[in-house]
Amino acid sequence: MEGYLTDSDKGAFVIEDSGSNKPIALKMYSIVNRDSVYPWKTIYNELDRNLFQIDGNFIEIFQLWVNPSYRRLGLATKLKLKLEEEAQNHKVNLIYTHTEETNNHVIELNKKIGYQEVRRGPIWDEVIRVSLIKQLS
């Protein structure tokens, strides 16, 4: 975990309940490169290279969590919009995320705020996942 916290290409945003100061929502991300070779299974090379900026960098959301008691209050949207600001700070114009095909509410949330579906299928196991991207201007 220490390496994650000190790596300039990784980050997290946490929203706390103002009364209890306990985390109620969290998003973790990393800046990755579409053209890199990774020691784990990815599908980046299956995505159209023209979707990515010239250097291949993009932001991947790899964890988004909202406490069940606080869902449907706009916290996930708030975190995703905050990440768009962070992308601009890093000069990255594409955000990638994926979710299980059964998470219809998550897919719809992403589409509502401008993400488009670019792939459907398994990634590292047999679970069907929906890959979505948002291109920033």
Per-residue model confidence as pLDDT tens digits over 42-72 = 999 999 999 999 999 999 998 999 999 999 9
C-beta of residue 76 within 8 angstroms of C-beta of residue 109: yes
At 1, is the pLDDT very low, low, confident or very high (cuts 50, 70, 90)? very low
* This prediction's pTM: 0.90
Instruction: Indicate whether 17 pLDDT > 90.
Output: yes
For 66-100, the pLDDT digits (tens) are 999 999 999 999 999 999 999 999 999 999 999 99
For 100-133, the pLDDT digits (tens) are 999 999 999 999 999 999 999 999 999 999 999 9
Q: What percent of the chain has pLDDT over 70?
A: 96
Instruction: Indicate whether 5 pLDDT > 70.
Output: no
Domains assigned to the chain: 2-135 (3.40.630.30)
pLDDT value at position 103? 95
Q: What percent of the chain has pLDDT over 90?
A: 88
DSSP string over 36-95: S--SS---GGGS-GGGS-TT-EEEEEEEEEE-GGGTTSSHHHHHHHHHHHHHHHTT--EE
Q: Is the dihedral angle over the CA atoms 28, 50, 122, 127 positive or is it negative?
A: positive
